[in-house]
Structure 1
Amino acid sequence: MPLFRRSASATGAAGGTREKAVLSPIPRDIKVLIAAAFVIALGYGIVAPVLPQFAASFDVGVAAASIIVSVFAFMRLVFAPAGGALVGKWGERRVYLVGLLIVAISTGACAVAQDYWQLLLFRGLGGAGSTMFTVSAAALILRLAPPDSRGRVSGAYASTFLMGGILGPVVGGLLAGFGLRMPFVVYAVALLIAAAVVAIMLKKPSAATGDEVAVPEPMDLREALADPGYRAAVVSAFANGWATFGVRMALIPLFAAAVLGAGPETAGLALAVFAVGNALALTFSGRLSDSVGRRPLVIAGLVVAGLSIAAIGFTDSIPLFVAASVTAGFGSGLLGPAQQAAVADIIGSSRSGGKVLAVFQMATDGGAIIGPVLAGALADRIGYDWAFAVTGAVALAAALLWKLFGRETLAKPAQPDG
């Protein structure tokens, strides 16, 4: 499929034709994966509000109930290398479906758990399955996306996931009225439906296209780490996990209560407007990274997010707190698609990137786990202003690394003849 098609509709002054770049259409298989991502994110959001309460219903303390939330992310982190290896061995499509089924079965098992330890085991298994379909979905999308549309595809995938994540808690809160087990049942059924849709609609590659009959040759991790663009992407993924997935979720509610004297509704508002800012940036950041390049969008996103998150710790009023939150979300929306597209550029369309993507995901998950712990310790000892300032500094340091050492991965289009 040509990346740029010749258009005769535009004429020059001399009456001849000139070249007009036309973006390649998004393949149907990617649209199937994007639709499945919405169902997955919706279901994850459905169980999120009730999971700690369900764990606490087994007569355990706050710490034990929190571990139920953390074990999912922990298992994603430790199982990521195995998930990446499976993608290289079995192919993306098979690993995606198996991972989806594991999460569906483990979620259904959570609904019938009889004690805390059963719930902990089943939730941990779900984290392992989540890594399998996350890594394989990323590998499929990044391999199937036309090179001139990788940013646009990454933006569409992120937007769909964001929408599901926003709507999910609302649906979950309503379902909780039927009992704390009901959201798990609904999520499990939704995952089974998503798996069936993907199995039917996602094309089964032939030997000519690779995957299950002829698995594409995997990219060697050492080769990826030798690329300054990939090294910069791993660092920025860690910083993004620390700031936007870790500290934002863990410290913003505590900051709102301890410093601003506000209730949970203010913390919820801050998290919601972060999502609004993120969604606003995602409407154009993917397309922009396909035209101006990945590097400028990554750097801009890290700078905007870093400065905004650092500013949160110095706010003394709710309007400033909310404004900083929405700006941080905007920066995260600038960063995400460009960063994903940069990794896709490095892997290319002809190879499987299971292990390479697994390390990239591990960097994000590692930041999301380490960030709240270190920032929380800083908040306890020297204050929230330092906790948020150090978090912002991590993002700014990643931006500086991209500026000094990261390379532009977007290939320039071939110039037309004549």
Structure 2
Amino acid sequence: MGSTVFGRGTARVRTAKVPLPREIWVLVAASFVIAIGFGIVAPALPAFATSFDVGVTASSAVISAFALMRLLFTPTAGSLVQRLGERPVYLVGLVVVAVSTGACAFAQSYWQLLVFRGLGGVGSTMFTISALALLVRMAPPGIRGRVTGLYASSFLLGNIAGPIVGGLLVGFGLRVPFLIYAAALLVAVAVVHTQLRHSTLAAPEGPDDRPTLRLRDAWEHRTYRAALASSFANGWAVFGVRVALVPLFVVDVLGSEPALAGVALSVFAAANAGALLFSGRVADARGRKPLAVAGLVLLGAGTAWLGFTTSTPLFLLACVVAGLGAGMLNPAQQASVADVIGSRGRGGPVLVGFQMASDVGGITGPLVAGFIADRVSYSAAFGLTGVIVLVAAAIWSRAPESLERPGVPAAPLVEPITGR
């Protein structure tokens, strides 16, 4: 399979001369609304679950159910994108999350809340996979890093603002945040539908219009394998261990108030956002590989350092280092996956594999690291997490660059099995 099949024959255009398509701004705005709504329900969800007279474990299961359903439904979501197109699946996914979130507000038992929240995970993976597929197809090759960085920034800013708004709304009742989020999602559905309805750039394409890059073909490219490794490590460290262990570490090791955990998560998010301001453009100008390796090294070192800190200033500094690393990594790894697929290729299975790697890491990380922290120490748990991230950095260091630059052709999309 040659590289020209998937649209890799065009040299990179300088990002300053390539405007962002209007459709991408629509997706970025919708991403912010989705993220801020997710953050709105975050403070209310655990308390709402325990209001049904269940313990901490059962309350945590409501949160895990969302992630688990995302993981289980991801292959199906990828198939739907391949058959129906990105835009319809995106809109239906938003509607599913809106309806399930609204239903949570009317739950009369713990089990109803568990089921409704799990259904939200189904819709979440539908719009996540389809949004990534749309960005891959619509983003000009020369600004893929900038586009993925902008998209990630909008989601991150929503996650920062959401809990603040949600904390204020909880005062009006635990069911109110769910209703607000459901309404916001329906507004996002209306905006995306009207803005993209007549767009030729986002229009669904027939099944034979573009070739489909199979997962086993993408696997032959070392850059894609490196992206899978970094996606797994990022899910383990950022979406799993950071959220699960940092609040416990603050109380058990540092002996501080739980409020410090919130400060630490905000510091991480702020450093992440700061890195996203430049990392997308750097990935387009200098290549995906240097930024991915540097980001993984900082994320791994900062995460491992967390477990050995004994004072609040050093603890927060470690959060800054890890946050900068995560912000440098994400645009680079997502843009590299887009390079592998190409603007004229269908990449549903490839995106599914990339997303599932992150979800598996996010589910496995807290379980393994939590067990180690309980049986050995927090230092060992954070240290293991750092090692896993650094292993991903080592894998990336051996991967070819996927970005085409003037006079420097990128590596072939699919490398031969022999002689590698």
TM-score for the superposition, normalised by structure 2 = 0.92
Residue 17 of structure 1 corresponds to: none
Residue 386 of structure 1 corresponds to: 380
Q: Deviations over 1:236-271 (max 9, x none)?
A: 100000011110000011011111001111111111
Residue 143 of structure 1 corresponds to: 137
CA shift, 1:24, in A, is 1.1
Q: Deviations over 1:31-77 (max 9, x none)?
A: 00000000000000000111011011111111111100110001001
Residue 10 of structure 1 corresponds to: none
Q: Quick one: structure 1 residues 71 and 21, their matched pair in 2 at CA, closer, same or farther if it must change by over 3 Å?
A: closer
Which of 247, 272, 286 is the equivalent residue of 1:292?
A: 286
Question: Which consecutive residues of structure 2, in runs of 5 or more, have no partner in the other structure?
Answer: 1-9, 409-420
Answering whether residue 317 of structure 2 is matched by residue 323 of structure 1, we say yes
Q: Distance in 1 between matches of 2:15 and 2:160?
A: 35
Q: Deviations over 1:279-302 (max 9, x none)?
A: 110110000000110000000000
Q: Distance in 1 between matches of 2:205 and 2:40?
A: 33
Which of 36, 39, 63 is the equivalent residue of 2:57?
A: 63
Matches within 5 A, 1:275-286: 275-286=269-280
CA shift, 1:204, in A, is 4.1
Answering whether residue 39 of structure 2 is matched by residue 45 of structure 1, we say yes
Asked if structure 2 preserves the Cα contact closer than 8 Å seen for 1:242 and 1:369, the reply is: yes
Q: Distance in 2 between matches of 1:21 and 1:58?
A: 53
Q: Distance in 2 between matches of 1:69 and 1:262?
A: 25
Residue 337 of structure 1 corresponds to: 331
Q: Distance in 1 between matches of 2:161 and 2:215?
A: 37
Residue 16 of structure 1 corresponds to: none
Asked if structure 1 preserves the Cα contact closer than 8 Å seen for 2:212 and 2:345, the reply is: yes
Q: Distance in 2 between matches of 1:23 and 1:328?
A: 33
Q: Distance in 1 between matches of 2:16 and 2:390?
A: 35
Residue 72 of structure 1 corresponds to: 66
Q: Distance in 2 between matches of 1:298 and 1:412?
A: 17
Asked if structure 2 preserves the Cα contact closer than 8 Å seen for 1:96 and 1:136, the reply is: yes
Q: Distance in 2 between matches of 1:120 and 1:344?
A: 35
Matches within 5 A, 1:13-412: 22-204=16-198, 211-213=204-206, 216-404=210-398, 406-412=399-405
Asked if structure 1 preserves the Cα contact closer than 8 Å seen for 2:153 and 2:273, the reply is: yes
Secondary structure of the residue aligned to 2:251 is helix
Asked if structure 2 preserves the Cα contact closer than 8 Å seen for 1:138 and 1:357, the reply is: yes
Identity of aligned residues (%): 58
Q: Quick one: structure 1 residues 98 and 366, their matched pair in 2 at CA, closer, same or farther if it must change by over 3 Å?
A: same
Secondary structure of the residue aligned to 2:17 is coil
Q: Quick one: structure 1 residues 285 and 246, their matched pair in 2 at CA, closer, same or farther if it must change by over 3 Å?
A: same
Asked if structure 2 preserves the Cα contact closer than 8 Å seen for 1:313 and 1:385, the reply is: yes
Q: Distance in 2 between matches of 1:348 and 1:284?
A: 23
Q: Quick one: structure 1 residues 394 and 4, their matched pair in 2 at CA, closer, same or farther if it must change by over 3 Å?
A: closer
Size of the aligned set, in residue pairs, is: 398
Q: Quick one: structure 1 residues 308 and 38, their matched pair in 2 at CA, closer, same or farther if it must change by over 3 Å?
A: same
Residue 5 of structure 2 corresponds to: none
CA shift, 1:137, in A, is 0.2
Q: Deviations over 1:193-242 (max 9, x none)?
A: 00000000014455x98624566432211111111110110011000000
Q: Quick one: structure 1 residues 126 and 335, their matched pair in 2 at CA, closer, same or farther if it must change by over 3 Å?
A: same
Question: Which consecutive residues of structure 1, in runs of 5 or more, have no partner in the other structure?
Answer: 6-19
Matching residue's letter, 2:47: Q
Q: Deviations over 1:346-397 (max 9, x none)?
A: 0000112112111101101110110111111111111011101100000000
Asked if structure 2 preserves the Cα contact closer than 8 Å seen for 1:84 and 1:358, the reply is: yes
User: Mean alpha-carbon deviation: is it higher for 212-221 or for 381-390?
Assistant: 212-221
Asked if structure 1 preserves the Cα contact closer than 8 Å seen for 2:87 and 2:202, the reply is: no
CA shift, 1:411, in A, is 1.1
Q: Distance in 2 between matches of 1:126 and 1:212?
A: 27
Asked if structure 1 preserves the Cα contact closer than 8 Å seen for 2:170 and 2:177, the reply is: yes
User: Mean alpha-carbon deviation: is it higher for 222-231 or for 34-43?
Assistant: 222-231
Q: Deviations over 1:128-177 (max 9, x none)?
A: 00000000001101211010000000110111101100000011111111
Secondary structure of the residue aligned to 2:345 is coil
Q: Deviations over 1:331-351 (max 9, x none)?
A: 000000000000000000011
Q: Quick one: structure 1 residues 21 and 34, their matched pair in 2 at CA, closer, same or farther if it must change by over 3 Å?
A: closer
TM-score for the superposition, normalised by structure 1 = 0.92
Q: Distance in 1 between matches of 2:210 and 2:198?
A: 14
- Structure number with greater Rg is 1
Q: Quick one: structure 1 residues 212 and 97, their matched pair in 2 at CA, closer, same or farther if it must change by over 3 Å?
A: farther
If asked which structure has higher relative contact order (CA below 8 Å, sep 6+), I would say: 2
Asked if structure 2 preserves the Cα contact closer than 8 Å seen for 1:88 and 1:217, the reply is: no
Secondary structure of the residue aligned to 1:284 is helix
Matching residue's letter, 2:360: G
Matching residue's letter, 1:362: M
Asked if structure 1 preserves the Cα contact closer than 8 Å seen for 2:134 and 2:202, the reply is: no
Q: Distance in 2 between matches of 1:226 and 1:308?
A: 31
Q: Distance in 1 between matches of 2:215 and 2:80?
A: 14
Q: Distance in 2 between matches of 1:157 and 1:386?
A: 34
Secondary structure of the residue aligned to 2:23 is helix
Q: Distance in 1 between matches of 2:383 and 2:149?
A: 28
Matching residue's letter, 2:405: K
CA shift, 1:403, in A, is 0.9
